[in-house]
Structure 1
Amino acid sequence: MATIHDTQVAPQDVEAFGNRLLEMMTGASLAMMISIGHRTGLFDVLAGESPLTSYQTADKAGLNERYVREWLGAMVTGRVIDYDSETQTYQLPDAHAALLTRAATPENMAATMQWFAVLGQVEDRIVDCFHNGGGVHYSHYSRFHEVMAEESAQTVVAALHDHILPLVPDLGDRLQEGIDVMDVGCGAGRALNLLAETFPSSRFVGVDFSEEAIEMGRQLARDRGLTNTEFIVRDAAQLGETVRFDLITAFDAIHDQIDPAAVLAGIRQALRRDGVFLMQDIAASSHLHENLESPIAPLLYTISCMHCMSVSLANDGAGLGTCWGEELAQEMLRDAGFGEIALHHLDHDIMNTYYVARQG
């Protein structure tokens, strides 16, 4: 085996990779601190403010000053927040606030940083899977539905009317008139409840195997006084519906399924003859070499290994993973009976591809 002392190994290559590893460590550290800044509301407090001391920042946020000061140290050295050493004050640049605050939704990248802590909590279980196979059940991921709902609020809910629904011609008009809609893998139901609130003449059914997520959806519907929604705990591979729905949606849900082929076949069976399946799933190729230039490919494979693939394998599922890819997705849609498939990419959502599928 070659070592750094062998002539076969160029010292500059070792040094360059060492620097890359240091950058990875720094990036991972900042991701954790940015997640905390999001959860504590610190970025929201600092946005648009004149320079503040650590005490002023902590007071405005209602937080412990010592922890706030240490967090600010990470943000300053990470070039996220500006610091004036003479006045010992801190300021969040407007250009950074545009990507780190709740007001920046759907551009708020701080919300996405929460995934690293969510995934990190199951590292020991994933290591065991490397040795023994199997997977990690959803129940071991605390805060999963909370973080997923927040992510969905950015990529789906905030873009539904202006970007996603227009992918299907005349869909808005049909929803106004009244149609039957199902959301498969609805999670906490934010998207479905927004549609139900916007289109009271249509009828909406949300399906998810998670009782926790379904109850969140039901509670949100109750809070909004909605009477045109129904949330059902059900395995998506056993929809058991025939020619009932005009529109079926699945937002970032199919690649996690235990039996995705059965899910897609069930969706096709549940659609009326002129019905539409609108699917959002990860923007990637089925071929590893085609993903080399994607700036988010390492993130996608990591999320897959730590969650998406694993939760499927935990139930002896297909374990497609996030990067099942557009090629395989289209093949599986065709196998399920969809003859007309169109792919769309939206500027606000670099992580996903949007599929509009009909029986054809």
Structure 2
Amino acid sequence: MSATTTLEQQETPAALERLVQVFNDGSIAILCGIGYDTGLFDTLATLPPATSHQVADAAGLDERYVREWLGGMAAAGFVDYDSDSRTYALCPEHAPFLTGPTADNLARSMRLVSFMGQVAPLVVEHFRIGGGLTYEESPGFHVGQAEESAAVHDGSLIDRIIPLTGLVGRLQEGIEVADIGCGQGHAINLLAREFPRSTFTGYDLSGETVAVGRAEAHEWGLGNATFVECDVARPIHSAAFDLVTAFDAIHDQAHPATVLANVHTALRTGGTFLMVDIKASSHLERNFDLPWASFLYAISISHCMSVSLGQGGDGLGTVWGVELAERMLKDAGFATVDLHELEEDPFNAYFVART
């Protein structure tokens, strides 16, 4: 046997082992998403070691499905199983990252694996013909994205994110604020509730999501929050706002450079733009050590890049990177651009740009 053959034989099992791990881990991600949607993780967190019947009763779910799900979670090492008593318990070390409403709950994020699976056949066709998906072909994405953003904003928007702008005092006194690509508008409503002397306007292309924001504003009794259905690629106002925000909304625009230029135009002299977007590099090789880099490229293909191309847009993509983002902000006319990071939000970079 040659040395070359021996080397090949040694390398092949490692490659195969890696692929099998990927195959299994993808399945675990889907099970975690189910655990979030059904409330099973939160239910387990409230119970002592329990049988599948007890877990199912507590969660109000069908026992047979619960038992199979528990088997998958036990095999993954997320749930402890006692074969003598046939009871299950959520592993304490995993519980903080699988339960609760905070941004630490990764089970919420893992639902995106199922979403990508749903749209994969449509995406495959666009590999052949070009173009991209419509927003209507991305069922559930906006709801999931809104929940992701809400978890971060509920924990950090007022105390950690907005102070990056240096405008807390002015917000308390009263200024004009706009949010570009506001989605379901939770950020706008949080700000409007915190700063009642300021006025807030959310802009989004989707009438359905804007309606959610309006409903929440009404429920909270907010008279200083307004929502407008419009395409932000068209100029909204000129020199009308002191602060404009955009939370993970720029990279999937049809024409991001146009939107950034419109934001600059909409700001008064000395105005501030807070842009929150994906923290990655514009250089592929610099992303290899990023633990979730492949996910970012996958969600770009499945949604962000695709919906931009579907509108005849530029297809900038999720992983446009902080280097390109900073350059595009300066090209849009911003005089200064400062980059910030937050420990509680490792997925995003925080840009504070001033006119």
TM bracket, shorter-chain basis: over 0.9
For residues 267 and 295 of structure 1, the distance between their equivalents in structure 2, rounded to whole angstroms, comes to 32
Q: Does 1:94 align with 2:92?
A: yes
Partner AA of 2:282 in structure 1: S
Q: Does 1:224 align with 2:220?
A: yes
Q: Does 1:153 align with 2:150?
A: yes
Q: Which residue of structure 2 lines up, in the alignment, with residue 67 of structure 1?
A: 65
Match of 2:35 among 28, 34, 37: 37
| Coordinate RMSD, CA, aligned | 1.2
* Cα distance per residue 1:100-124 (max 9 Å; x no partner): 1125x12111110111112211111
Match of 2:322 among 313, 319, 326: 326
Q: Which residue of structure 2 lines up, in the alignment, with residue 137 of structure 1?
A: 134
Match of 1:112 among 97, 109, 113: 109
Q: CA deviation at 1:230?
A: 0.8
For residues 75 and 6 of structure 2, the distance between their equivalents in structure 1, rounded to whole angstroms, comes to 37
Partner AA of 1:41 in structure 2: G
* Cα distance per residue 1:182-239 (max 9 Å; x no partner): 0000000011111111111110000000111111111111111111111011111113
Give matches, 1:1-360, under 5 Å. 7=5, 10-103=8-101, 105-169=102-166, 171-359=167-355
For residues 213 and 10 of structure 2, the distance between their equivalents in structure 1, rounded to whole angstroms, comes to 55
Q: Which residue of structure 2 lines up, in the alignment, with residue 3 of structure 1?
A: none
Partner AA of 2:32 in structure 1: I
Corresponding residue SS for 2:276: strand
For residues 253 and 259 of structure 1, the distance between their equivalents in structure 2, rounded to whole angstroms, comes to 12
* Cα distance per residue 1:290-331 (max 9 Å; x no partner): 111111111111111111000000011010101111111111
TM-score normalised by the chain length of structure 2: 0.97
CA contact (8 A) 1:100 1:109 kept: yes
Q: CA deviation at 1:8?
A: 9.6
CA contact (8 A) 1:345 1:354 kept: yes
How much identity, in percent, do the aligned residues show?
50
Q: CA deviation at 1:48?
A: 4.0
For residues 86 and 269 of structure 1, the distance between their equivalents in structure 2, rounded to whole angstroms, comes to 68
Q: CA deviation at 1:274?
A: 1.4
CA contact (8 A) 1:181 1:245 kept: yes
For residues 29 and 45 of structure 2, the distance between their equivalents in structure 1, rounded to whole angstroms, comes to 19
Q: CA deviation at 1:155?
A: 2.5
Q: CA deviation at 1:12?
A: 1.9
For residues 6 and 109 of structure 2, the distance between their equivalents in structure 1, rounded to whole angstroms, comes to 41
For residues 7 and 135 of structure 1, the distance between their equivalents in structure 2, rounded to whole angstroms, comes to 45
For residues 26 and 306 of structure 1, the distance between their equivalents in structure 2, rounded to whole angstroms, comes to 21
For residues 60 and 48 of structure 2, the distance between their equivalents in structure 1, rounded to whole angstroms, comes to 18
For residues 24 and 185 of structure 2, the distance between their equivalents in structure 1, rounded to whole angstroms, comes to 36
Q: CA deviation at 1:7?
A: 4.0
* Cα distance per residue 1:54-88 (max 9 Å; x no partner): 00000000000000000000000010100000000
CA contact (8 A) 1:252 1:281 kept: yes
179-188 vs 136-145, greater mean Cα deviation: 136-145
Partner AA of 2:106 in structure 1: M
Partner AA of 2:100 in structure 1: R
Give the paired residue count: 352
Gaps of 5+ in 1: 1-5
Corresponding residue SS for 2:320: helix
Q: 1:59–1:48: structure 2 CA closer, same or farther, 3 Å change rule?
A: closer
TM-score normalised by the chain length of structure 1: 0.96
Gaps of 5+ in 2: none
CA contact (8 A) 1:119 1:141 kept: no
CA contact (8 A) 1:48 1:94 kept: no
Q: CA deviation at 1:156?
A: 3.0
Partner AA of 1:78 in structure 2: A
For residues 90 and 124 of structure 1, the distance between their equivalents in structure 2, rounded to whole angstroms, comes to 37
Partner AA of 2:163 in structure 1: P
CA contact (8 A) 2:158 2:191 kept: no
CA contact (8 A) 2:178 2:202 kept: yes
* Cα distance per residue 1:18-70 (max 9 Å; x no partner): 10111101110010000000000001111142101000000000000000000
For residues 339 and 285 of structure 1, the distance between their equivalents in structure 2, rounded to whole angstroms, comes to 22
